[in-house]
Amino acid sequence: MFENLNDKLERAFKVLKGQGQITEINVAETVKEIRRALLDADVNFKTAKEFTDRVKAKALGQNVLTSVSPGQLLIKITHDELAELMGGQAAGINMSGNPTVVLMSGLQGSGKTTFSGKLANLLRKKGRKVLLVAADVYRPAAIDQLETLGKQLDITVYSERENKDPVKIAQNAIAHARQQGYTAVIIDTAGRLAIDEAMMDEITRIKEAVKPQETLFVVDAMTGQDAVNTAKAFNDRLNIDGVVLTKLDGDARGGAALSIRSVVNKPIKFIGTGEKMDAIDEFHPDRMAGRILGMGDVVSLVERAQQQFDEKQARELNRKIQKDQFGFDDFLEQIGQIKKMGNMKDLMGMIPGVGKALKNIDIPDDAFKGIEAIIRSMTPEERKNPAIINGSRRQRIARGSGTSVEAVNKLMKQFEEMRKMMKLMGDRSKMQNMMRQLQQMQGMRR
């Protein structure tokens, strides 16, 4: 998402490249291009105009430092205004209540049921005992879909197949949650293909009956301005607490993410970034602004890594590296953890400068498939001690993995270089710690 917008904004800032100072003429030309880029991204017209007016006013009101070019200054102003446009600060989920009740709302096909599973998975990782509630009594496969997700995640799903009253189902589910010690309840409600009075009346009655701590509106980001209009209709009736944008990994132009806060005046709380159950991110306006402008998002990348790697594993891995015991089984485990972090192209795009380089390069989700096949064709002893893999063993591994001896040789070479680099980094860290200790000791002597 945002690739086209990023390209157009980049072209807009080139107007100021090489300019020695900010003038009303060059800023007006740049701002005009920014507004055009936002409109092409399906941003609400009024929102785009107000946004560019603020950028222009701030740019003309500032003096350019000798160390900062006019282009750099305008990028900084645009970044700050984009972050403010999307809410300024991240809006966390309200986890008060015993149990915390989250009511999901949205149209059919927006990804509401799938997101309910993703949110349940996220809350469980944060130590919550979660109960999913199937309150869609109209779509035949709705309960089945939620129960399938529940089994996949090992999270309990509450359903009453014979009961056709969603209000009563929701009330019974909360009573059950209190009895069984659940600390979070997520209610998946019915959607429709379009907004209708019956749907709005039903979800309003559910909200009045269960009094949720959070009422979230789930919308498909790929629907552009329709997403904003639908969010406004739901908010007018339900007074939602926040918005969830799904399918941000798709070919979305980004207009919904940029417009929804200013039109609805409710924060975007979560974004869905893929099909997998851990493809969910808390929405941070400042980080998203950085990604829109091609600055990357290292903080989110680190947070995703921290979710997959625990300290105990890291210490054990470091011990193996220092003792030259890091083998292919350990490497395979690291690949598995990287894959859990999400789509490879999305992850690489979070690194500043890398996203632009990858723009026209397709990185498949199974990028590690060949490497995994080679490693799995090795014997346990070969994975543990790669030094024993001679020529004949390499031929056998190539045949077993359906690859070539050249591919096996290339992996072996890259693996050995990686081991040396990891050990060197560990040694350098120890050396830096030792130097710091020596400096402290010298300071004490003085």
d(C-alpha 212, C-alpha 104), whole Å = 10
d(C-alpha 321, C-alpha 421), whole Å = 10
Q: Which residue has the higher pLDDT, 385 or 433?
A: 385
State residue 342's pLDDT score.
61
One-letter identity of residue 289:
A
Per-residue pLDDT for 121 more than 70?
yes
Q: What is the DSSP letter of 126?
A: T
Per-residue pLDDT for 305 more than 80?
no
pLDDT band at 409 (very low <50, low <70, confident <90, very high): very high
Per-residue DSSP letters for 61-105? Answer: TSPPPTTS-HHHHHHHHHHHHHHHHTTSS-------SSSEEEEEE
Could you tell me which of 338, 366, 65, 102 has the C-alpha nearest to residue 217? 102
d(C-alpha 41, C-alpha 37), whole Å = 6
Tell whether pTM > 0.85.
no
Give whichever of 86-90, 177-181, 222-226, 354-358 has the largest mean pLDDT.
Answer: 177-181
Per-residue pLDDT for 435 more than 90?
no
Per-residue pLDDT for 29 more than 70?
yes
Per-residue pLDDT for 27 more than 70?
yes
> For the chain, which domains are there?
3-85 (1.20.120.140), 100-290 (3.40.50.300), 310-345+368-433 (1.10.260.30)
Longest Cα pair distance anywhere in the chain, in angstroms?
82
State residue 302's pLDDT score.
53
d(C-alpha 91, C-alpha 83), whole Å = 13
353 exposure class (CB count in 10 Å sphere: 0-12, 13-18, 19+): exposed
- For the residues 407-430, what does the mean pLDDT come to? 75
Percent of the chain with pLDDT over 90: 20
d(C-alpha 220, C-alpha 233), whole Å = 15
d(C-alpha 305, C-alpha 299), whole Å = 10
Per-residue pLDDT for 176 more than 90?
yes
State residue 220's pLDDT score.
80
Answer for the pair 248, 288: CB distance below 8 angstroms, yes or no. no
> What's the token pair of residue 291?
């990604």
pLDDT digits 0-9 by tens, 345-367: 565 555 544 455 445 545 555 66
Lowest mean pLDDT among 34-38, 62-66, 254-258, 335-339: 62-66
- For the residues 149-166, what does the mean pLDDT come to? 89
Residue matched to tokens 């880029």: 37
pLDDT digits 0-9 by tens, 365-391: 566 788 889 999 999 999 988 889 999
Percent of the chain with pLDDT over 70: 71
Per-residue DSSP letters for 146-169? Answer: HHHHHHHHT-EEE--TT---HHHH
- For the residues 261-271, what does the mean pLDDT come to? 83
